């Protein structure tokens, strides 16, 4: 095989053969295909797309570049959820223990935040003592003992994807749906789960800004899962406003615990229960109903065991930022817009997120939303509270919120659950 021939095939609009895909992924992972050659191929894929068979084979080649986990030693079916990311999206935290409380095992490999979108591992690391790095044997032990584990993916899982992801980030090819879909699904399939539910976010705070693009991504990922024998379902869900009232690591952990205690914001509860029902159905588990497991405390019991099993103290006080700034409502009326992207960037600038993967985060930083779109507000009432370690961060955070709030404007909110793709 020759890298130039592979590039030319896709550049000219052709379909890559299985042999070409297997060779180029393996050679790139080994360093035999140069970065500039893979950059050219990624751009050709962005411009010309891929057929379904190509995407399936590309995903398989990335899986084959590393190890594949399996959970046959467990006495219950496995199921998992992946979200494409958003602002205030803390759903994994209450969801994993909730699904485990209903009889499934949840081996959840999660990531860290970058830019305005938060990361599940950053949120959980705000709990004193909790650790994200577990070996496969430790994951199995936690799953056996609690039914759920949330941790970082090891370096042996789809290493080709890790290398290609970094390249896409610096070559303007992140937006390619075949490359996004194969990146996500290669890791999820290698994770070894028996069923997968995808939460594909739509709106200003999401990677996919339109329903049409989100649906295309969802359909591509569901097709990949189906082609690999993995029961896969996708929901398109709203990210035109923040999810819940808390945006920021420790703030979101506290809100997740409220949900597990039977309270919390209605949208977080609704989406958590909806996704739990999808995960259990995909795993072939008919009951009990997840809403009951939130009410009776069984999901909270699993949460406490899960956090403790990974070294965390579920009773320890969470970090709190020492500095706050209150943003008040500019007028009286109905809050019709609270832009997810603006709030997410504000939280990032307050210290809750990172610009580069190696940057630290402030666990206490973030934004508390005192009202949600559709609610009545009075001029001068607290609308947002900004939390930071350093008051010098407030000015840039406030700049991000310029134009993010609208009162008595046109009502055009997306429904929380927009569509279901199977």
Pull the structure tokens for residue 404.
């993010």
Active site residue 256: no
pLDDT of residue 329: 98
Rounded distance between C-alpha atoms, residue 416 and residue 393, angstroms: 32
Percent pLDDT > 70 in the chain is: 100
Residue 248 three-state SS: coil
Check if the beta carbon of residue 16 is closer than 8 Å to that of residue 22. Answer: no
- Asked if residue 234 and residue 379 are part of one domain, the reply reads no
pLDDT of residue 351: 96
Number of domains in the chain: 3
> pLDDT grade, residue 135 (50/70/90)?
very high
- Asked if residue 86 and residue 35 are part of one domain, the reply reads no
Matching residue, tokens 């411009």: 47
Rounded distance between C-alpha atoms, residue 171 and residue 158, angstroms: 20
The residue out of 277, 309, 341 marking a domain boundary is 309
Q: Say if 67 falls within a structural domain.
A: no
Q: Say if 419 falls within a structural domain.
A: no
Q: Across residues 37-44, what is the average pLDDT? A: 98
pLDDT of residue 302: 98
Residue 357 has pLDDT above 80, yes or no: no
pTM of the model: 0.95
Percent pLDDT > 90 in the chain is: 92
Q: Say if 148 falls within a structural domain.
A: yes
* Residue of 10, 57, 82, 90 with catalytic role: 82
Length of the chain equals 422
Rounded distance between C-alpha atoms, residue 401 and residue 197, angstroms: 33
* Residue of 10, 187, 241, 304 with catalytic role: 187
- Asked if residue 225 and residue 165 are part of one domain, the reply reads yes
Active site residue 123: no
Rounded to 10°, the helix 249-260/266-282 angle is: 70
- Asked if residue 360 and residue 327 are part of one domain, the reply reads yes
Check if the beta carbon of residue 129 is closer than 8 Å to that of residue 312. Answer: yes
Rounded distance between C-alpha atoms, residue 329 and residue 353, angstroms: 25
Better-scored residue on pLDDT, 111 or 221 = 221
* Residue of 80, 89, 122, 161 with catalytic role: 161
pLDDT digits (tens, 9 = 90+) for 227-282: 999 999 999 999 999 999 999 999 999 999 999 999 999 999 999 999 999 999 99
pLDDT of residue 270: 98
pLDDT of residue 308: 98
- The verdict on whether omega for the bond into residue 288 sits within 30 degrees of 0, i.e. cis, is yes
Q: Say if 318 falls within a structural domain.
A: no
- Asked if residue 338 and residue 305 are part of one domain, the reply reads no
- Asked if residue 272 and residue 178 are part of one domain, the reply reads yes
Residue 299 three-state SS: helix
> pLDDT grade, residue 355 (50/70/90)?
confident
The residue out of 264, 286, 309 marking a domain boundary is 309
Q: Say if 208 falls within a structural domain.
A: yes
The whole domain housing 245 covers: 80-309
Active site residue 183: yes
Residue 395, C-beta contacts closer than 8 angstroms, at least 6 positions apart: none
- Asked if residue 267 and residue 179 are part of one domain, the reply reads yes
Largest CA distance in the chain: 68
* Residue of 57, 116, 168, 393 with catalytic role: 168
> pLDDT grade, residue 113 (50/70/90)?
confident
Residue 154 has pLDDT above 90, yes or no: no
pLDDT digits (tens, 9 = 90+) for 282-335: 999 997 899 999 999 999 999 999 999 999 999 999 999 999 999 999 999 999
CA 168 to chain centre: 19
pLDDT of residue 155: 85
> pLDDT grade, residue 411 (50/70/90)?
confident
Residue 141 has pLDDT above 80, yes or no: yes
Active site residue 135: no
Q: Say if 124 falls within a structural domain.
A: yes
- Asked if residue 328 and residue 304 are part of one domain, the reply reads no
- Asked if residue 255 and residue 383 are part of one domain, the reply reads no
Q: Say if 131 falls within a structural domain.
A: yes
Active site residue 187: yes
* Residue of 65, 110, 126, 183 with catalytic role: 183
- Asked if residue 391 and residue 300 are part of one domain, the reply reads no
CATH number of the domain residue 342 falls in: 3.90.1170.30
Q: Say if 123 falls within a structural domain.
A: yes
CATH number of the domain residue 20 falls in: 1.20.970.10
CATH number of the domain residue 191 falls in: 3.40.1030.10
Return the beta strands (E) in 99-242 as ranges: 106-110, 148-152, 195-202, 231-238
- Asked if residue 193 and residue 150 are part of one domain, the reply reads yes
Residue 176 three-state SS: coil
State the chain's mean pLDDT as an integer. Answer: 96
- Asked if residue 289 and residue 151 are part of one domain, the reply reads yes
The residue out of 309, 334, 364 marking a domain boundary is 309
């Amino acid at each position: 095989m020759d890298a130039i021939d592979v590039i030319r095939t896709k550049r000219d609009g052709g379909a890559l053969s299985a042999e070409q895909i297997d060779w180029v992924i393996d050679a790139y992972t080994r360093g035999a295909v140069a970065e500039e050659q893979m950059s050219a191929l990624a751009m050709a894929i962005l411009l010309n797309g891929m057929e379904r068979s190509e995407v399936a084979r590309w995903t398989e080649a990335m899986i084959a570049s590393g190890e594949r986990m399996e959970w046959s030693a467990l006495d219950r079916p496995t199921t998992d959820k992946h979200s494409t990311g958003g602002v205030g999206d803390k759903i994994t935290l209450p969801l994993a223990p909730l699904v485990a409380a209903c009889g499934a095992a949840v081996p959840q490999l999660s990531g860290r935040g970058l830019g305005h979108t938060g990361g599940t591992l950053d949120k959980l690391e705000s709990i004193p003592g909790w650790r994200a790095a577990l070996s496969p044997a430790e994951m199995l032990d936690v799953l056996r003992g609690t039914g759920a584990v949330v941790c970082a993916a090891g370096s042996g899982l789809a290493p080709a994807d890790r290398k290609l992801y970094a390249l896409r980030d610096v070559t303007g090819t992140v937006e390619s749906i075949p490359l996004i879909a194969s990146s996500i699904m290669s890791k999820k399939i290698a994770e070894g789960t028996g069923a997968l539910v995808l939460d594909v976010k739509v709106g200003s705070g999401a990677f996919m800004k339109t329903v049409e693009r989100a649906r295309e991504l969802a359909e591509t990922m569901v097709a990949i899962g189906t082609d690999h024998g993995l029961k896969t379902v996708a929901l398109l869900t709203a990210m035109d406003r923040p999810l819940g009232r808390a945006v920021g690591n420790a703030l979101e952990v506290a809100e997740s615990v409220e949900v597990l205690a039977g309270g919390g914001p209605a949208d977080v509860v609704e989406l958590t229960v909806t996704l739990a029902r999808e995960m259990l159905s995909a795993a072939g588990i008919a009951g009990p109903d997840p809403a009951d497991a939130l009410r009776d405390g069984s999901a909270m019991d699993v949460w406490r065991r899960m956090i403790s099993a990974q070294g965390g103290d579920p009773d320890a006080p969470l970090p709190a930022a020492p500095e706050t700034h209150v943003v008040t409502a500019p007028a009286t009326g109905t809050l019709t817009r609270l832009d997810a992207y603006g709030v997410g960037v504000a939280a990032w600038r307050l210290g809750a997120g990172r610009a580069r993967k190696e940057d630290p985060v402030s666990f206490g930083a973030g934004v508390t939303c005192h009202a949600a779109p559709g609610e009545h507000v009075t001029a001068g009432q607290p609308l947002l509270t900004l939390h930071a370690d350093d008051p010098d961060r407030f000015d840039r955070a406030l700049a991000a919120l310029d134009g993010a709030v609208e009162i008595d404007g046109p009502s055009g909110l997306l429904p929380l659950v927009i569509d279901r793709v199977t």
